[in-house]
Structure formats: C-alpha cells, structure tokens
Structure 1
Amino acid sequence: MSNSPCVPDIDLDLAGRLDTAWGDPADWVAHGLHWTHLPAVKARLHRQVTGDASIEPLEWFFGVVGAHQPLPLRRVLFLGCGQGRDERLVARSGWADEIVAIDLSAKALDLARDQAKAAGARIHYVQADMNNLPVGQSGFEPGSFDAVLGISSVHHCANLEGLYASVAQLLAPAGWLFLNEYVGPDRFQCADSQLRFMNQLVDMLPHHLRTTRDGQLKGNLWRPSVDEVVAVDPTEAVRSSEVLPLLDRHFDVVEHRPYGGTLMRVVLAGIAQNFMNAEAEPWLHALLRAEDDLFRSGRVHWDLACVIARARSAATAPPNPYR
C-alpha cells in the first residue's frame, strides 16, 4: 500500500484506474520502445524547441527564467509528475531550492519517490488531482510557488479552467508556467488524412523494421474510438485541443514552440528499438524528413508544443469561479 501523503477530494476509483494505466513502467514498453527512446528523435525535438540539439526543453525553460531572475527558484510545483524524471533533473541541476510534485496515481508516486531517494534528490510528493488543486492547504498556499510545470500531464485535465485559475493563485506575482504537452485533437481523434499518412509511412518500411518486440507486424493503423481511449485511461487527451486556447485568461505567453511528432509518436510506437543501429539510420531519417515535409506543406498540423507563460497580476486576473 502506498504511503504517499494525499489531500482531500481524491477520486479513489479514478486513481486506481490510473494506477493500472501508468503504475508499471514495464507495461509501457511491453510491445517495444517508443519514438522518444531514439537519440536522433530527441535531438530533433530539442532543436525544434530550443534551437540546439543538446539543450532539452526543461533546460531551455530555466535558461529563460534565469535571464529574468536569479536561480535557483525558491519553490516549484510539478503537475502530474508520473515516475518523476523531470523533477529529478531540476534537483540535480540545482534550479530550485524546493520541489513539490503531485500525481493522482499512488503507484506512480511510489516509483517517483523510490527513484528520487536512490538519486539523493529531495522532492516532496503528494497525491492530488489537477482538477481540484488543494489551494490554501498546507504547502499549497497562494503565492507560494515561483514556477509550476506541466510536462505530458495537463492534457489529462478535464477542468482546465479550474486548473489554470488555481495555478495562477499558487504562483507568486509574475510567476512562471511551463507546459510541454500534447495539444492535438481530443481523445486522439485525428483527421482521416493524418491516419492515411501514418499508414503510408509504416507501409514503406521493410518487415524487419516494422516488427514489434513480441513479433507482431505493425500495419493497418486505425484511429481508436473515444470509448477505446477512455477504456485505457479516462483522462487521456480529455480536452487536449483547449490546453493552449484557455491559457490567456490568466497568463501572458512568453514563448510558444510547436514541435514534431504528430505522425512519429504513432508510427514508431512499439518498433523504435529497430532503429537503434547504423543500418536503420537512413530509414529513420527518411521518416523524420517525411513528417517535416508534411508540416511545411500544411498537410499535417503540430500536435505538441512547449509554452512559457507568466501569471498576470492579481489586479488584472479574473477570480477563480471553479473552486
């Protein structure tokens, strides 16, 4: 049983379903690796967001913050932290004095806590729900955080209006919000043309490059129904298309950097391990170039984005009616 401290108003049934979906990292790679396991893919994404293949988005964010105020920041909050890789990077890099991280999955929090302990990182983990942040409770006092970060998490939030209003309350004046998120169609309901492009790219690969770790030949990709997405994770991409449009109620956007992956996150899912050798490198670069060409032509739209924003002053920000 988890010993994660938690706050009231936890939906225990939903938390249990998220434990099943995200609580065991081995399940995520049971059929094979994913696109971001590939160094060439990560270098491409870094270059698209930060302009430098060697600088990842989180480092870029703290570089922007550091140009405006001294580092380390006093306190930062991670939303939907999962197994905790990003807050460990912040701790290791010395970008914040105090790190708080929340997630609704107790199993994910246990994994994150164990890995933080092994790394010697001091991080405070709390079981809490992004849909109902514990503003005003101990450790979550208004104005008590210098930055709030959502990395592959905010697209799981149904109450985006309430989340953004609460984050604005938690932030110190002109505090920072960083998002690195899927912002594409809700519940992954992509356009028919996008599905067609993905199948064309998979079909051009030789069989040995499109075979999953458990021996299945990848092909005939389909768009999952909303019910199929919800069955795996009822929070998945619930209002992803609204993650960016709703920001301007409480925040001023400083940087908005869309980046690739609309096709590659699906095409390479389960088969990325086949591209980790020199023989497969030309095929990988052909896939990446094809996606880039489709972006440039406007036939495919960016589904991922990094955003740096700052909270508006209390005098100009609207009240939070969602609590």
Structure 2
Amino acid sequence: MLNYHGSREIDRLLAEQLDSVWGDPATWVANGLQWTHLPEVSASMHAQVSGDPSVTPLEWFFSVVKTTQPTPVARVLVLGCGQGHVERQIAKYGWAREILATDLSAKVLEVARANAVAANAPIKYVQADMNCLPVGHPGFEPGSFDVVLGVSCVHHCADLENLYASILKLLSPSGWLFLDEYVGPDRFQYPNNQVRFMNQLLDILPERLRKTRDGRIKGNLWRPSVEEVIEVDPSEAIRSFDILPLLDRHFDIYERRPYGGALLRVVLADIAQNFKDKASEAYLHSLLQAEDDLFRAGRLQRDLACVIAHVPTAASASPTEGR
C-alpha cells in the first residue's frame, strides 16, 4: 500500500486513533445494527435523492455524468473510502477504467483492499489525508481525474478550503465532484428541539423494539458534549456545517438534494435489527413518516445532502471568490 503526504506530514496520532475507531468493521455493529441496514430506510433515502427508491445516489450521479460524457470515465478518486463500498460499486458497474481510493486509517485500508480482492475489483489504495492531498505526487497529477467522490467522509475534514482547492487541481476541466455527506451541526451539537423530537419518537416504541444486542433498553437520548465527540474521533463532524457554504464558493453546483437522517440516524442506532420482521413494519413506517412530516412542516432541517458539482467554467467566479 502506498503512503503519501502532501505539503505537511500525515497526523500519525490521528491516523492511529482512526485505526482503533474505524479499522474493525465489527465495532460498529457490536451493540446492534444501524439505520442504513434497513432496506425500507435505504429506499426512503434513495427516493429523496434520486426520485426512485430503487436508484441509489451513486447510480443517480453517474446517470448525470453519462449525459455529458461517455462512461466508463478514465479515472476516479474516492476520498475517505472506509471499507470500500463506494469504489467496489463503481468497479461492479464499470463506471471507471481506473479507481484510486484513499483513507487516513491504514487499518481500514487493509479491510477495503481485502474486500476488493474478494470482489475481484481492480482498485488502487493509498493512505492519504484529505486535509493535505498529495497533489503532484505520482498518481495525483493535476487534471488527471474525471470524477472525485466524497461519501460520508468530508465531514471529517478540518481544512475544507484546502481540500476543495486540491480537488479543483486534481480534476480535469470537465471534471465532476459528488458528495453524499452529513452537513448538520458541527460535532453533533443538535438544537434542543431536534433532541426532543428524537426522544418523542423513541418513546412511542415498545420496549422490545428499543433493546440493543447486549440487552440494554435504549432511551433518554441526549446531545453529546463536544469533548465526548472528540474523545471518540477528533475529526468527527469537525466542520460539517461549513461543507455546503464553502462548496458553493469553489464549484458550480449542478444538483443539491438534501435528505433525511436528522432523527432516525440516531433513534435507530443499535436497535435497527429489531425492525426486520413483519410485526415491526408499522412502527418503522410511522417513524419514517413522522420524520418526513417534520421536514415538510419546516420544524426540522435535513442533516444529510447529496450534491453534484463540477469545475467552474471560465465565465464563473474563481474558486477563492464569493459566488
């Protein structure tokens, strides 16, 4: 596995902490499944983004790319790849001839590489930091990528300005950027009404649906302190609320699709396994409907968003200027 650093060294202490947090896939399902493990939830999110519950955000994005250029595109860069789902899907559908994926955690990169080998997917992996992408190093030549993707990772980036500037350098003049991100409050500092709505939804569930794998009954949700979030992962949601405003200053926005997650992402964490049978179907539908009603009534902001952006044309403002 290649290891690069850009204008400054990779933060080795942070990389080691991320190894312990993200390096073992079993850690995140030890107490129970998450909301995205439920097909009904995924279908709802897909419909909000693509307009079709059977079309994933990634499929939607590449359908847009296909309207402007033939696929497969030549090169794709996947940021913060984690266990490698995004790049394996790109390989599966033949959307790119060459795929390069990066992450700061060396341990999770080994997981991603093993998954790629098992799927017979030819993917190159590089340890790199989003805060200082190795622009100009071999494999990261300016203008050499047709597509850059950030899926559930850019909210871990502290230096968004440098990240966006680096992506602009790496993309070809007709290049595309796709983000599927948490864009809610920094460090999960939700407003009081959002926490109250979470608890109200949890309170309507019978005890059997609130049970985690280790037998605890989930209840009384609260907003984590900034210190608690940092203790688990210092990069977690570090500047999540700035992702979209800064993106507007650097790129031309083609499509912006906010979608749910403000409540159910937290409410269903560690208890999603209880909603996989027919007996719980009505409860899950009620939760999905309640969250959607709050969005539509303007009482709740969507914390997730998919954005398709492209390199600004010559007529557009420069990346460092306001738009």
Runs of 4+ in 1 over 3 A off after TM superposition: 313-320
| Count of aligned residue pairs for this structure pair | 318
Does 2:39 align with 1:39?
yes
Does 2:281 align with 1:281?
yes
DSSP-derived class of the 1:97 partner = strand
Residues in 2 aligned to 1:318 and 1:129: alpha-carbon distance in whole angstroms:
25
Q: Please report how far the alpha carbon of residue 11 of structure 1 lies from its aligned counterpart in structure 2 after TM superposition.
A: 1.2
Report the residue type matching 2:280 in the other structure.
A
Aligned to 2:305: 305
Aligned to 1:6: 3
- 1:7-26 aligned within 5 A: 7-8=4-5, 9-26=9-26
Q: For residues 292-312 of structure 1, what are the alpha-carbon distances to aligned partners after superposition, in whole Å with 9 as ceiling and x for unaligned?
A: 111011111000000000011
DSSP-derived class of the 1:173 partner = strand
**Gap runs ≥5 in structure 2:** none
- The two structures have a TM-score, normalised by structure 1, of 0.96
Residues in 2 aligned to 1:319 and 1:189: alpha-carbon distance in whole angstroms:
29
- 1:82-161 aligned within 5 A: 82-161=82-161
Q: Please report how far the alpha carbon of residue 318 of structure 1 lies from its aligned counterpart in structure 2 after TM superposition.
A: 3.9
Residues in 1 aligned to 2:295 and 2:283: alpha-carbon distance in whole angstroms:
19
DSSP-derived class of the 1:86 partner = helix
Cα RMSD (Å) = 1.3
Report the residue type matching 1:92 in the other structure.
K
Give the share of equivalent positions with the same residue, in percent. Answer: 65
Aligned to 1:50: 50
Q: Please report how far the alpha carbon of residue 249 of structure 1 lies from its aligned counterpart in structure 2 after TM superposition.
A: 2.2
Aligned to 1:250: 250
- 1:54-73 aligned within 5 A: 54-73=54-73
Question: CA 1:195/1:319 → structure 2, altered by over 3 Å: closer, same or farther?
Answer: closer
Residues in 1 aligned to 2:255 and 2:126: alpha-carbon distance in whole angstroms:
29
- The two structures have a TM-score, normalised by structure 2, of 0.96
In 1, are the aligned partners of 2:103 and 2:129 still within 8 Å (CA)? yes
Report the residue type matching 1:260 in the other structure.
G
Report the residue type matching 1:90 in the other structure.
I
Question: CA 1:157/1:202 → structure 2, altered by over 3 Å: closer, same or farther?
Answer: same
Residues in 2 aligned to 1:190 and 1:101: alpha-carbon distance in whole angstroms:
32
Q: Please report how far the alpha carbon of residue 317 of structure 1 lies from its aligned counterpart in structure 2 after TM superposition.
A: 6.0
Aligned to 2:232: 232
Q: Please report how far the alpha carbon of residue 314 of structure 1 lies from its aligned counterpart in structure 2 after TM superposition.
A: 6.6
**Gap runs ≥5 in structure 1:** none
